[in-house]
Structure 1
Amino acid sequence: MAEPSTSSSLFPQTRWTLVHLLNSPDSRTADIALEQLCRAYHRPLYVYARGLGLSRPDAEDLVQSLFARLLAQESFKTLQQQKGRMRSWIVRVFLNEMSHWKQRQLAQKRGGKNGLITLDFSEAERLLTDVALTQSDPARACDLAQAIELWRELLPHLREKYRLRDRQELFTALEPALLGGWPADGPGQKIIAEQIGTTALRLKAHLVRLREQARLHFSDLAREKLDPAISEEEVAHLWGLLTR
């Protein structure tokens, strides 16, 4: 599979490149690649596990157990050979691992080669708090967590682009309405436009353009962080969870 073009992307390193690096004869390079892949997925999977009713320690153990098993079985290399979709593949493997985990009740906790990967779940727990306020479906919560993580990584890059163009004030004005409508408890569009020296009509046009840019870069980032083969339908689903 050819790697997707990243000419319009803010994020040049692709996840598929990391998958290729798992075959590196340099074990350190392969370990680093695997660690980065694990970090891209462990927090949303943790949210998934917590949403299914697992306690914090059990959810941590389950996710650690998953990546330990993937490492031991070199499953990412199998994925590369099959050229499957990484995001859906990892979720499927996670659910399978959870089934086995329930049967053995973590008889061997965090064993094997798992020591090569140290995952921090404190941020995952904070992410769970953001998601749990609005989601009752664990699978949907997992997707929302993934979307939030992508957005949190994308937002500073968008902000920096406007700073480099000396448009920080405009970005600050538009940011609260970027994923939805103008906040009901904030100043109206006309007042905001006057504050930055423009008209409400031009402010609306700026917002439309910024949303288009954000959506484009979100799609790029989803391919680079989650799965280079992710479909537009899946990207639209993740984006829609943010903008509802």
Structure 2
Amino acid sequence: MSSSNDTSRPAVFATTQWTRVLAARGESPDARAALSELCEAYYRPVLAFIRSWTGDDDRARDLTHDFFSRLLGGKGVAGVDPQRGRFRSFLLGAAKHFLADVRDRELAARRGGQHEHVPLKPETDTSPGNDPLDPQTPRFEMEFDRQWALTILDRVLKALASEHEQAGKSRQFEVLKGWLTGDVEGRSQAAAAALLGMHEGAVKVAIHRLRRQFRELVKREIAQTLDDPAQVADELRYLLSILA
């Protein structure tokens, strides 16, 4: 995590810091800002998880909106302990509980409840052997984690792009970022040098520096979601394994 006097880089994924999450319990301007940023930062992983469960894009978006409204409405994070666990795990657990509640309410409605009774038929999704999808299913969790990893990488790439823009090196970043993402499309470093009007040796140095900056930013963003900095290496290995 950057020091307090490091102003050269914009805050990335800052909404996942435990202190901001705890602040989200209140009604102060900072708390409201934290809630808004939190929804933006973690919208995609939660949407992917819920979409895996519903199999329907429109319904998934509606449920994701409802999930964040409930989670961030006041008491959703009231019991969070910033000294325990990963925020990623907390958010996934909250999404599981939310979907389990949705499933239970829908089952109750179909079986009588306070809604219009819908008789069971062989083709309905409440027939034996065809129950609604279980939000505990591991493949849904894997999709959440994959989107979490992609979101971190996307946020870090945007931070690096912003840094290069401020330094007047946007063109250089656009040409060289493929060496971060693996999307070089057969382009050689010599070809990149020609595009940028640089010596090939200078391009090699620039790529090395860019990779180092990228690694450090990824570690910093991961650290913001943990209670113990010693866990960063494990989280980074897990992130890489998810994307492998």
Secondary structure of the equivalent of 1:78? coil
RMSD of aligned residue pairs (Cα, Å): 3.3
Q: Which whole-Å CA distance do the structure 2 matches of 1:205 and 1:5 have between them? A: 24
How far 1:93 sits from its partner (Å)? Answer: 2.0
Partner of 1:42: 43
Q: Which has the higher contact order (CA 8 A, sep 6+)?
A: 1
Task: Give 1 or 2: higher helix fraction.
Answer: 1
Check the 8 A contact 1:46/1:59 in 2, yes or no.
yes
Alignment of 1:1-244 (within 5 A): 5-7=2-4, 10-11=10-11, 13=14, 15-24=17-26, 26=27, 29-71=30-72, 74-80=75-81, 83-105=84-106, 137-180=139-182, 182-184=184-186, 187-224=187-224, 227-229=225-227, 231-232=231-232, 233-239=234-240, 241=242, 244=244
Q: How many residues align?
A: 208
* Aligned partner letter, 1:189: Q
The structure number with the bigger radius of gyration is 2
Residues 179, 106 of structure 1: CA spacing in aligned structure 2 closer, same or farther, 3 A cutoff? farther
Residues 238, 202 of structure 1: CA spacing in aligned structure 2 closer, same or farther, 3 A cutoff? same
Unaligned runs of 5+ in 2: 110-138
Secondary structure of the equivalent of 1:76? coil
TM (norm. structure 2) is 0.68
Secondary structure of the equivalent of 2:185? coil
Q: Which whole-Å CA distance do the structure 1 matches of 2:3 and 2:33 have between them? A: 22
Deviations 1:16-47 (A, max 9, x none): 232232354x4555444334323332321111
Q: Which whole-Å CA distance do the structure 2 matches of 1:200 and 1:138 have between them? A: 45
Q: Which whole-Å CA distance do the structure 2 matches of 1:100 and 1:29 have between them? A: 30
TM (norm. structure 1) is 0.68
Q: Percent identity?
A: 25
Deviations 1:57-115 (A, max 9, x none): 3323432343344346713121136644211011012112222211212889xxxxxxx
Unaligned runs of 5+ in 1: 109-136
